[in-house]
A and B are shown apart, each in its own frame.
Chain A
Amino acid sequence: MQDFAVITNWIHNFLVSTLGCAPWLAVTIECVAVGVGLLLLYALLALFYIYFERKVCAFFQCRLGPNRVGPWGLLQSFADMFKILIKELIELKNIDKFLFALAPYLVIIASMLAFAVLPWGNGLQIIDFNIGIFFLLAVSSIGVLGILLAGWSSNNKFTLIGALRSGAQMVSYELSIGLSVVTMVCLAGTMSVTGIVEAQDRLWFIFSGHVSSIIAFIIYMIAGTAETNRGPFDLPEAESELTAGYHTEYSGIHFGFFYLAEYLNLFIISGVAALLFFGGWMPLHIPGWDAFNNIMDYIPSVVWFVGKAIALSFIIIWFKWTFPRLRIDHLLKLEWKYLLPINLFNLALMVCIIIFGWQI
C-alpha cells in the first residue's frame, strides 16, 4: 500500500537538506503549504458538492439540472461563485455589527478545523493525535455558536426563531453523535484517527461489531443529517415558515459562507461515518481472501476515503428528497424518546459484545 508520508518526508528533506532551510523556516513553509492545500481542497469540495447536490436533486425530480455552463454544467458552481462575489453586501440598521460579522468566521473556522482532522489517505492526515475523534467532536460543536450568533445579531424575528430551532436541534442530536462515537471508540480501543483506521485493517467496523455497529451507524446517519440542518431536519431554514432561517439577513458572499459551511459539514459528517464504520482510507479487506485483499490494496487510499465519503453523502442527499419535514416537537421526541434510549442500550450491547469476545 502506498504511503503519502514518503512524499511529505521527501518534501521536508528537500527543504532542510537540499535548500538548507533553518528548521523554523522549513516548518513555516510546510504550514503555509498545509494552509493553502486546505483552502483549495475546502473550496473545490464545496463547489463540487453544490454541483453534486443540484444534479442529484434534479435526477430525483426527473429534471436535467444544470447543463448549460461547461460540459454537463460542470462549471455552473464556478459561475455561481463569481456571481455571489459580485453581489452587494447590504448594510443593515439596528444589527449588532460585531456579532453579525463574527458569526461566519466561527462557522467556517469550526468546519475547517473538523475538516483538517479527517484521514485523507495513508500518511495524509493533517491534525492527527491521540484524541483526534474527540477533538473533532469538540470543534464541530463550535459551529452552533456561529449559527446562534447569526440569528441573534440580525435583529429579525425569523432569524431568531431559526437560530433557536437550529440550536435546540443541533445540541440534541450532538448527543446521539457523541454516543455513537463512544460506541465505536469502545470497539476500536483508541481515539486517535489513525488508530481507528488501523484497527479496521482486518475488517471494517460495520461488519465486525455485529448488530451493534449497524444500529450505531443508522443512528449516526440520522443524527448527522440533523446536525447539518439538512433533509427532513431543515426546520431552522424552513422556507415556507421562516424565509431562510438564521441567515435571512445575510447577503452576497456573507450568505455564501453559511452555504459553504453547510456543504462542508455534509462532507465532514459522511467522512466521519466513513472513518468510524467503513474503515476511513482502509481498503476493503475480507479475512482469508488474501488475493482479493492484495488487489484492493492497489486502489489508492485517497480514492477509498473520498469515494466512501461521497457515497455516504449521497445517502444523506437521498434522505432530503424522500422524507417530508418534521415538526419541532416530533424532532425533539425522535431524539430524546427514541434515539437516546436506543443509543444507551446499544452502548451496553457493544460493551457486552467486546467483554465476552463475540466480535468477529
Chain B
Amino acid sequence: MTPLTIFGISNTALLAVTAALTGFALVALAMWIAGLISPRSFNPQKGEPYECGIPTRGESMTQFHVGYYLFAILFLMFDVETVFLFPWAVRMRELGVDGLISIAVFFSILVLGLVYAWRKGALEWK
C-alpha cells in the first residue's frame, strides 16, 4: 500500500499541518471579523459569572467529585492497552497461532484488570 495523498504530495506531515493551520485560521478569522462588526458596551454587572441571575457564592473553581479522577485513571489503563492491540490487529493473519497465544495472555491480563476494578467497586458511582 503506497501512501497516496491528494495532489501527489507524499509528505503527510505537511498536509496535517495544513489542516491544523486551517482550523487555526477559521477561529482567528471569525474572531477578527466578529471583533470588527460586533458592538461593545460596558456594564459592571456583565462580567459576573452567569449562575442564573443569583450573585455567585464562594469560590468557583471548587473541589470536585473524586469519581471523575478515578474513571480517568481507569481510562488511561485500558486505553494504553488498547493501543497495544492495534499493531497486532494489523498483522494478525501473518502472526498466526503464535501471535494469538501471546495476545491471549495480554488480553487476559486486560480482562483481569477489569474484573479487579469491578470487584473493588471502582466502577460504582458513589
Chief secondary structure at chain B's binding surface: helix
A47-55, A150-158, A274-282, A300-308: which lies at the interface: A150-158
B15, A116: Cβ atoms closer than 8 Å:
yes
Minimum CB–CB distance from B69 to chain A (whole Å) comes to 9
> Which residues from chain B contact A68 at a C-beta distance below 8 Å?
none
- In the assembled complex, the Cα of A328 lies from the Cα of B49 at a distance in Å of 25
A89, B68: Cβ atoms closer than 8 Å:
no
A183-191, A205-213, A224-232: which lies at the interface: A183-191
A34 within 8 A of B: yes
- In the assembled complex, the Cα of A165 lies from the Cα of B125 at a distance in Å of 13
A2 within 8 A of B: no
> Which residues from chain A contact B49 at a C-beta distance below 8 Å?
92, 94, 154-157, 249
Proximity bits, A175-186, B CB within 8 Å = 1, else 0: 100110010011
Assuming A157-B62, A168-B71, is B78 touching A127 (CB within 8 A)? no
B24, A109: Cβ atoms closer than 8 Å:
yes
A38 within 8 A of B: yes
A175, B68: Cβ atoms closer than 8 Å:
no
> Which residues from chain A contact B110 at a C-beta distance below 8 Å?
344
- In the assembled complex, the Cα of A249 lies from the Cα of B46 at a distance in Å of 11
> Which residues from chain A contact B78 at a C-beta distance below 8 Å?
175, 340
Residue of A nearest to B7 (CB): A30
- In the assembled complex, the Cα of A154 lies from the Cα of B105 at a distance in Å of 46
B64, A160: Cβ atoms closer than 8 Å:
yes
Pick the 9 closest A-B CB pairs, nearest first.
A112-B23, A329-B125, A109-B23, A93-B47, A116-B19, A253-B34, A171-B75, A156-B49, A30-B7
> Which of chain B's residues 102-126 have a Cβ closer than 8 Å to chain A?
107, 110-111, 114, 118, 123-125
A-B contact pairs, 18 of them (CB 8 A): A5-B4, A31-B15, A38-B19, A39-B26, A89-B38, A108-B26, A112-B20, A116-B19, A126-B19, A127-B5, A127-B12, A156-B50, A161-B64, A168-B68, A179-B82, A186-B92, A348-B107, A351-B92
> Which residues from chain B contact A109 at a C-beta distance below 8 Å?
20, 23-24
Assuming A34-B15, A252-B38, is B5 touching A126 (CB within 8 A)? yes
Tell which of A31, A175, A190 touches B1, judged by Cβ atoms closer than 8 Å.
A190
> Which residues from chain B contact A158 at a C-beta distance below 8 Å?
50-51
Minimum CB–CB distance from A288 to chain B (whole Å) comes to 25
> Which of chain A's residues 84-110 have a Cβ closer than 8 Å to chain B?
85-94, 104-105, 108-110
A12 within 8 A of B: yes
B8 within 8 A of A: yes
> Which of chain B's residues 45-104 have a Cβ closer than 8 Å to chain A?
46-52, 56, 60-62, 64-65, 67-68, 71-72, 74-75, 78-79, 82-83, 85-86, 89-90, 92-93, 100
A57-65, A128-136, A314-322: which lies at the interface: A128-136
Assuming A112-B20, A112-B26, A172-B71, is B50 touching A191 (CB within 8 A)? no
Assuming A105-B23, A134-B86, is B75 touching A34 (CB within 8 A)? no
> Which residues from chain A contact B72 at a C-beta distance below 8 Å?
167-168, 171
